[in-house]
Copies of this chain bind each other. A is one copy, B any other.
Amino acid sequence: MFKTMNIFRLCTLKHMRLLLLMNTLIFLVLLFTLYISFTHSEKNFNSGNKFDEKQLTLNIIENRLQKLQQALKNRFPSAVDYIDVHVKHDLPTIYAITPTYKRWTQKADLTRLGQTLLHVPNFRWIVVEDSNEKTALVTNFLKFSGLQYTHLNAKTDQNYKLKSTDPNWLLPRGVAQRNKGLTWIRKNLSPNINGILYFLDDDNTYSLRVFEEMRSTEVASVWPVGLSGGLKFEGPGKCKDGKVLEWYTAWKPERPFPIDMAGFAVNLKLLFKYSEAEYSNDAPRGYLESHFLTGLKLKRHDMEAKADNCSKVLVWHTRTEKPKMKQEEALIRQGKSSNSEMEV
């Protein structure tokens, strides 16, 4: 023991960088040991329960470890060979496309969604603004989010733009933005990449567990979405052995895919194979998702059932209420709006 300590002291003085690298390796051993001991102790519990605390904790630690490795790599470029061996190369990256637009609650919605995404390892957030220029608000928000991201913009064609008095179902929404994200992926990623495509809305609610479910998507996958289509949940209603037996919806059940945008993920290889598939402003009401998925030549029976054979709701179609801004609107009319330097 004393001998080891002396060697450490020597190293501290002489080979600080090498010691740092060694520490990382030792920490990886520690983590692996912890993982093994967790896995072993899990056998005492119901091993079928995929949704337990420990897996969640491990995912989080794994994510933090990756960040630490990245920081080390930036500081000691020559260390790449030592560190990269331990990065989970076999964990596919999730590419999530989120259309967003200016409104009172935009920063709040992006903030709480971003804080959820901070927990998800191997994740890239493709945020596409409905605007002619990238705004300072979204630019700064992303810069300080701590996330891996791509910031794009695409203005919705005025002919397809909802007026503030229109009901929100009148026209399909987010078409130009989702297509811009798809174009970015096809232009910037290799067709051989091991990745998953998902469409995230900025005011929906996502459990961390849904990201781990979609990560194993081989072709395309589905799961139920809570509070969707006027129902408690909508989408795959009965599943067995990873296949969907029945679909559950109360509205236009004849749609090729009676599901919400938050209820499916697609393996990127499909996106490269059918390179024309995209969203359309001319899709009939409720057919936005179906138009895209049939463009990828998918049929209902192709879909892999996730979320414990579609028995769990891990995503909710929530909406943030438009805030009542009576006092602010009165001030704006008088030309005396609240401190314009305060970003909200």
Contact = CB atoms under 8 A, between A and B. Distances in A.
Nearest to A322: B321
A318 interface: yes
A338 B30 contact: no
Copies in the complex: 2
Contacts of A33: 16, 20
Interface in A1-48: 3-4, 7, 11, 16, 20, 23-24, 26-27, 29-30, 33-34, 37
Nearest to A315: B108
A342 B231 CA distance: 12
A323 B64 CA distance: 36
B53 A61 contact: no
A274 interface: no
A208 interface: yes
B64 A231 contact: no
Interface stretch (A78-86, A115-123, A265-273): A115-123
A230 B49 CA distance: 46
Contact of A26 (B23, B53, B320, B337): B23
A136 interface: no
A31 to B, nearest CB: 8
A115 B119 contact: yes
Contacts of A326: 230
A118 B60 contact: yes
Contact of A118 (B119, B233, B319, B343): B119
A206 B176 CA distance: 30
Q: Output the residue of A20, A56, A330, A342 with the most chain B CB within 10 A.
A: A342
Given A232-B339, A312-B343, 9 more contacts: A4-B7, A26-B27, A57-B67, A61-B68, A107-B226, A111-B207, A115-B115, A230-B324, A312-B342
6 pairs of A and B residues whose beta carbons are closest in the complex: A230-B327, A250-B327, A108-B316, A108-B205, A232-B338, A319-B321
